[in-house]
Chain A
């Protein structure tokens, strides 16, 4: 009996491995992927619908570029200006507002520039000549750094352009006693290992809204047409269930 059960299990595994389950490719901001925020939902979605979800961590700039090339079916990004342009180019079918994960400005407890408790723009003006650890990678956070500096009318003089993801940028800020713009979810995750304090938060300019975009499939040859139709209906289902889930919480 045991051998029979074993063979059935192996057959089932083989069937699943080369089986007919359709996959949807979702590119989400690295923050969302690294925090495993989406994992419980994806598990549930896969179980209930039989679709296979491939989640890729991509900075917002990278994700939108992948969408332009038709490599992904669903985008979860946080770069409002880039998203608007993407929609204007006709590359998205629909864009929905998703969760918010607001930014804050953190820095060394000494706060040499004296930004504690000020507004975001005033903080950028005061940080003008202080070390500032920049993401420098076209991510949603990097776009926000640039937008805030521009709105404040300053150029941060001592930018440390890290370009190695949020975890290493935070650690570099810690090592160099620098200020940093970071989303609150990531910051609270790393805070116990860092000697940095949240200094500016709650300003409406630090809002960090995420959007979900259903990407328009690229034109495919006749053999791919069927597949792509199934995939985009899967993408629609994924997005409607995710939105329902997010706003139920």
Chain B
């Protein structure tokens, strides 16, 4: 198997990590508070919101790409930003893809925390904020899984980044779009090599996050 170890490949790997890493962090900023809020608070129509959220977790990435593209092209309201075919547009569409994943899994994790923990905390006279914090702490493994799933959903997607990034060499080419292109050009061996690298990089990151959790566990459970 030919592994094309050139500077361009390393640049493409780093760009993939940058785009999907930024999108994951931004999606957690949206998803963690929203998912936790949805699990803790009760209101009319909550079940509909939850069902909508779970639907959005499986939203087709090409549909998100299409939407973002139409929002950003020159004749549209946001066209003045000149974001189309830039890394910014790619991050934007991946935030839209990853946020429901993060929110949905955070919701599930927080929802699984026994209600009495929050009630006990409140009963002990702490503030609501501290009680919410206690619940989040109980759900911490769920939060980590949510972060990993959010990252996994975007590092592996090709539909939206192809559409809003355009796979431009040196500008918006990431691992997944490079794989599509190599396969399209009939260079199947390079496409396979890139796929293996993508899976390997993804494994290392998830391994790192998992180990991080393990190391911290004893301290957190004290």
Q: Which of A65, A162, A164 has the most CB of B within 10 A?
A: A164
Query: Shortest Cβ distance from B72 into chain A, in angstroms?
Result: 9
Say whether B185 contacts A137, CB under 8 Å. yes
Is residue A66 within 8 Å, beta carbon to beta carbon, of the partner chain? yes
A161-B184 contact given A168-B163, A175-B74, CB 8 Å threshold: no
Question: How distant is B165 from chain A, measured CB to nearest CB, in Å?
Answer: 8
Contact assessment for B82 and A138 in the assembled complex, using a CB-CB cutoff below 8 Å? no
B173 pairs with A163, CB closer than 8 A: yes
> Which of B85, B162, B165, B187 has most A Cβ within 10 Å?
B85
A136 within 8 A of B: yes
Q: Is the CB of A163 within 8 A of B73?
A: no
A160 lies within 8 A of B74 (CB): no
Given A61-B186, A138-B186, A175-B74: A162 touches B82 (CB 8 Å cut-off): no
Q: What count of chain A residues pass the 8 Å CB interface test?
A: 24
Determine the chain B residues whose CB is within 8 A of the CB of A174 once the complex forms: 74
Q: Is there contact, CB below 8 Å, between B185 and A172?
A: no
Q: Which residues 148-189 in B have Cβ within 8 Å of A in the complex?
A: 162-163, 165-171, 173, 177, 181, 183-188
Complex CA–CA separation, A161 to B162 (angstroms):
13
Q: How far is the CA of A162 from the CA of B169 in the complex (A)?
A: 7
Q: Out of B85, B170, B183, B188, which one reaches A176, CB within 8 Å?
A: B85
Cβ-closest chain B residue relative to A57: B184
A217 an interface residue at 8 Å Cβ cutoff? no
A245 to B177, CA, bound (A): 38
Partner of A162, one of B168, B184, B186: B168
Q: Given the interface contacts A64-B186, A175-B84, does A163 sit within 8 Å of B181 by beta carbon?
A: yes
- The answer to whether A163 and B186 touch (CB under 8 A), given A175-B73, A176-B85, is no
Contacts of A63 in B (CB 8 A): 186
**Is A92 an interface position by the 8 A CB rule?**
no
Are the C-beta atoms of A62 and B74 separated by less than 8 Å? no
User: Are B166 and A164 touching (Cβ within 8 A)?
Assistant: yes
- In the bound complex, do residue B185 and residue A61 qualify as a contact, i.e. CB atoms below 8 Å apart? yes
Q: How many angstroms from the CA of A64 to the CA of B187 in the assembled complex?
A: 11
* A residues 45-67 touching B (CB-CB < 8 Å): 58-59, 61-66
Inter-chain CA distance A62–B186, complex, in Å, is 4
Q: What are 16 pairs between A and B in contact, CB < 8 Å? A: A61-B185, A65-B186, A137-B184, A137-B185, A138-B185, A162-B168, A163-B169, A163-B177, A163-B181, A168-B163, A171-B73, A171-B85, A171-B166, A172-B166, A175-B84, A195-B74
Interface of B with A (CB < 8 Å)?
73-74, 82, 84-85, 162-163, 165-171, 173, 177, 181, 183-188
Which A residues have a C-beta under 8 Å from some C-beta of B? 58-59, 61-66, 136-138, 160-164, 168-169, 171-172, 174-176, 195
